[in-house]
Chain A
Amino acid sequence: MSSVEQKQPLSDGPDWSFELLGQYQTEIERVAKLYKLDTYPNQIEVITAEQMMDAYSSVGMPIGYNHWSYGKKFIQTEQNYKRGFMGLAYEIVINSNPCIAYLMEENTMTMQALVMAHACYGHNSFFKNNYLFRTWTDASSIIDYLVFAKQYLSQCEEKYGISEVEDMLDSCHALMNYGVDRYKRPQKISMDEEQKRQKDREAYLQSQVNQLWKTIPNKGDLSAEHEYRFPSEPQENILYFIEKNAPLLKPWQREVVRIVRKISQYFYPQKQTQVMNEGWATFWHYTILQHLYQENLVTDKFILEVLHNHTNVVFQPEYHSKYYSGINPYALGYAMFTDLRRICEDPTEEDKEWFPDIAGSDWLETLHFAMQNFKDESFISQYLSPKIIRDFHLFAITDDDKESTLEVAAIHNAEGYQQIRQTLSAQYNLSNIEPNIQVYSADIAGDRSLTLRFIPNKRIPLADNFQQVLKHVHRLWGFNVQLEQQNEDGSIKLLGSCPV
């Protein structure tokens, strides 16, 4: 490696220039290739702090439609930033092809390099290869779709008024979490196709709805029809159900529902892969920059600044710290990927017992496999090792409202590993976090009322703001809406209805 030693280290700034960015990017890409990181092409955009705040408040979407809630977010961000309560994110990266990453002008050269390694190679390769992203999002068409959505909504605003569109969006946003398909695979279509289909869909959907409501039976048949329930099976995608079946929505309103639903679906994988995604990106910025340091391509000063930031990012406050707000996904994810590498390269007896199939295997292949085929929930239940549990001093607490005290269910000892792993995994299972509410029936033969059914998980009740959400459902559906709760013993309780 004599040639490597002759290389001059790259300038460590602190000021960056586009030329220097290019040099670092070339080196980082070279190393990323060595580690077989497969990425979309990168589009790296340098922006100012104000622009970062803009991007921040529109959930990172480069071209979002207009809505007051983004304005609220912006005002909050601006306030917090100006008062110094919060720093801005160093980067924002968008799951698109080419993969768009924002670098902030204020960052030092070191930070820009760290961000490039983190976002443009870490996150980017995750977006391209993780199965959830491959299944649920189409990176090449998302930007087009957002453009389409923005244009469509602003046309609607011109035609029907800002307030009308705003009302629709408010209601759809309230149900955004209930606008995703969990099992069906969506089809991919291009922007052109999307626009062409939109017009057809408008006409077609309306005719379908009209058909559906025409099937009101004669009064005499009412008893016979009583057993018939629509939909025949409960529907978990409430927005989809509304889009297709709400009797009074106008065609453009159905399209708005669809837009919100599509965007919700686009973000669905991100919600389920926080730990993995951040862990993967953090692992790679660390590994790539260390590699450059080994090659003498970066200076001591550079690597110290990197380490300083890196340790901040992966800091995990303990449960009694005032900074504690749950488990830091960066810390957990980074620790797990690092530990996976250790298990492959330097397995202990314990590892051989817990991970017989990967202990001693090729670490790079194992890591790529883990990144590609899991989400947070399954990743933790598969790979959370006893060593991590010990390192983090993890312990599980049982909180039952029937008991007067909390109980420590398991700690970081041999008896507890399995249980902690299961509990932590369940903690990342969206269906444990989000209340299970489905469309149970729509009374198409009678008063057209819609019944939603809530099935509590482990007796955890619904937060009591549901009445407000019901108002939004009512606005979309147009007729009475009821919310029932199905208890463990099978009994049904009416939680609320709108209008009350």
Chain B
Amino acid sequence: MAHFIDRRLNGKNKSAVNRQRFIRRYKQQIKQAVSDAISKRSVTDINNGEKVSIPGKDITEPFFHQGQGGHRERVHPGNDQFSPGDKIKRPQGGQGGGSGQGDASADGEGEDEFVFSISKDEYLDLLFEDLELPNLKKNQLDKLVQYKNVRAGFRSEGVPTNIDIVRSLQGSLARRVAMTAGKKRELHELEAQLALVEAEPVPDQHQLMALREQIELLVKRIGAVPFIDSFDLRFRNFQKRPEPTSKAVMFCLMDVSGSMDQATKDMAKRFYILLYMFLSRSYKNVEVVYIRHHTQAKEVDEQEFFYSQETGGTIVSSALKMMADIVKDRYDPAQWNIYAAQASDGDNWADDSPQCADLLAQQILPFVRYYAYIEITPRPHQSLWLEYEKLQQSFDNFAIQPIRQVADIYPVFRELFKKQAA
């Protein structure tokens, strides 16, 4: 009496819900681990999940159990040297009298870490949770809209190129059937009568003639029903449906003058990576434009952007000018969502800073969705910061934040992009 069932094709993710519950419950700890991890993570590695480690003691389930001490007796196997009455030193690391299973520490008194992996999606979700596209509300009002033609059923009027042949012929067939069915039935009856009359030995000629006349009339009338009528025609219908654009461009602006060392650039890089990951979750296509500058600005590829060494002074406005030009040339603000992030150690020629503020206010900020400036320096704020600070009050798509060390990046990023309260 046995019954075999093949369950292999049943879903295997029965525990998925429980797993989600676990992650939900320990979100705080996992988030902490994730934000610690971003600062250690290799910069090129954005397509993987993350290994998360949370303290074992945080996730135990407490229950009443026995502690150390008291009087215990236990039986163990494999006696190779003892006689009754032998005294044995307590084993090191606990007085449990051996490692009996009953009193093994079940509440994780040790600092064991609970390590597990989360998938890329879970990682990104946690990383960007509570973050929102900047100015989302405003974005929805003046959202960039493109129209796309989509099929929307059929209609009886239209241009000849849109005729749907199958539908039209279906209509024609239906019409012909409807208009001729009664006549055909009548025709068959008359023909049957005719046959009867003709079969008689002496056919009644008068009757024959009348029948033939009627038949002829019917055939003519059936023949007069047109094969296709304008009434039958069906045309494919198209509608224009608005589609929010999924194109975005991200400008990375960075100062590469002598004062920016590699560590500072790496910090900036992490910030750009976060921004890139964040944008790619919201937009299908994200293009990246790298502009680096010292006294002159230059559009470069990623490798050169981060790793070529330059020296010299700093004129930030050169990069802003270049960005404005590129936008004009290639990224029509009516079709592209434009984001920009500028990283700098704050150095700038003092008389250039007001010019930067002007450029931003006139030529850039009106067209971009969001412009973030991060100042990576342990020193007091520089002139550029002070200028930008003034600007911040009049534009709500403009944000500035200082970063001092690698671990600051993620919190600052969150701060910049936190969900708008409104």
* A residues lining the B interface (CB < 8 Å): 18, 21-22, 25, 29, 39, 41-48, 50-51, 53-55, 57-58, 66-72, 74-76, 78-79, 98, 102, 105, 120, 162, 166, 170, 173-178, 316-321, 324-327, 392-402, 404-413, 415-416, 420, 423-424, 426-427, 433-435, 437, 456-466, 468-469, 472
Q: Hey, which chain B residues are within 8 Å of A424, CB to CB?
A: 75
User: Once the chains bind, are B19 and A420 in contact (CB under 8 Å)?
Assistant: no
Q: Identify which of B10, B12, B18 contacts A68 (C-beta below 8 A).
A: B18
B115 touching A41, Cβ below 8 Å: no
A87 to B75, CA, bound (A): 28
Contact A177 B88 (CB under 8 A): no
Q: Is the CB of B73 within 8 A of A401?
A: no
- Cβ A105 vs Cβ B8 within 8 A: yes
With an 8 Å Cβ cutoff, the count of chain B residues facing the other chain is: 68
- The answer to whether the Cβ of B394 comes within 8 Å of any Cβ in the partner chain is no
Cβ-neighbour of A408 out of B1, B67, B82, B96 (below 8 A): B82
- Report Cα–Cα, A49/B44, bound state, in Å: 34
Q: Does B304 contact A (CB under 8 A)?
A: no
B64 touches A408 (CB 8 A): no
B77→A458 contact, CB < 8 A:
no
Residue B85 interfacial (CB < 8 Å): yes
Shortest Cβ gap from A285 to chain B (Å): 15
Interface code B31-67, partner A: CB below 8 Å = 1, 0 otherwise? 0000000000000000000000000000111111111
Does B21 lie at the interface of the complex (its beta carbon under 8 Å from any beta carbon of A)?
A: yes
Contact B77 A58 (CB under 8 A): no
Asked if A174 and B62 make an inter-chain contact with CB atoms under 8 angstroms apart, the answer reads: yes
Interface residues of chain B, those whose CB is within 8 Å of chain A, are 1-8, 10, 12-15, 17-26, 59-80, 82-90, 95-102, 104, 107, 114-117
For residue B72, which residues in chain A have a CB less than 8 angstroms away from its CB?
398-400, 458, 460
* Nearest-neighbor residue (CB-CB) of A380 within chain B: B75
Tell me the bound Cα distance from A328 to B264 in angstroms: 59
When distances are taken between beta carbons in the complex, the residues of chain B under 8 Å from A39 are 1
The residue among B6, B62, B102 with the most chain A CB atoms within 10 A of its own CB is: B62
Give chain B residues whose Cβ lies under 8 Å from the Cβ of A22.
4
State A166–B61 Cα separation when bound (angstroms).
Answer: 13
How distant is B24 from chain A, measured CB to nearest CB, in Å? 7
**Min CB gap A178→B, angstroms:** 7
A334 and B19 alpha carbons, distance in the complex (Å): 37
* B104, closest chain A residue (CB): A325
Residues of B within 8 A of A472 (CB): 62
A178-B64 in contact (CB<8A): yes
Do the beta carbons of B62 and A469 come within 8 Å of each other? yes
Q: Which residues of B contact A70 (CB under 8 A)?
A: 15, 18
In the bound complex, do residue B3 and residue A98 qualify as a contact, i.e. CB atoms below 8 Å apart? yes
Residues of B with C-beta under 8 A to A460: 66-67, 69-72
Which residues of chain A have C-beta atoms less than 8 A from B65's C-beta?
434-435, 462-463, 465
Assess whether B79 is in contact with A412, with CB atoms less than 8 Å apart: yes
With the chains together, A98 CA to B2 CA distance in Å? 9
A66, B88: Cβ atoms under 8 Å?
no
A424, closest chain B residue (CB): B75
Q: Which of B2, B24, B68, B85 has the most CB of A within 10 A?
A: B2
B5 x A398 contact (CB < 8 A) = no
Known contacts A54-B12, A398-B72: does B66 contact A69 (CB below 8 Å)?
no
Q: Which of B12, B71, B75 contacts A395 (CB 8 A)?
A: B75
**Pick from A57, A177, A394, A420: contact of B64, CB under 8 Å:** A177
Tell me, rounded to whole Å, the shortest Cβ–Cβ distance linking A120 to chain B.
7
Q: Across the interface, name the chain B residue whose C-beta is closest to A70.
A: B18
Q: Please name all residues of chain B whose beta carbon is closer than 8 Å to the beta carbon of A396 when the two chains form the complex.
A: 73-76
Q: Which residues of A contact B24 (CB under 8 A)?
A: 68, 162
In the bound complex, do residue A44 and residue B5 qualify as a contact, i.e. CB atoms below 8 Å apart? Answer: yes
23 residue pairs of the A-B complex, CB under 8 angstroms, read: A29-B1, A57-B15, A66-B18, A74-B18, A74-B19, A74-B22, A173-B61, A178-B64, A316-B77, A319-B78, A327-B75, A394-B75, A394-B77, A402-B71, A405-B87, A408-B88, A410-B84, A411-B79, A411-B83, A426-B73, A459-B70, A460-B67, A465-B107
Contact A399 B77 (CB under 8 A): no
Contacts known (A401-B70, A406-B97, A460-B70); A395 close to B19, Cβ less than 8 A: no
A71 touches B70 (CB 8 A): no
Q: Which residues of A contact B104 (CB under 8 A)?
A: 325
Which among A72, A319, A409 is the interface contact of B22 at CB below 8 angstroms? A72
Do residues B2 and A29 form an inter-chain contact, with CB atoms below 8 A? yes
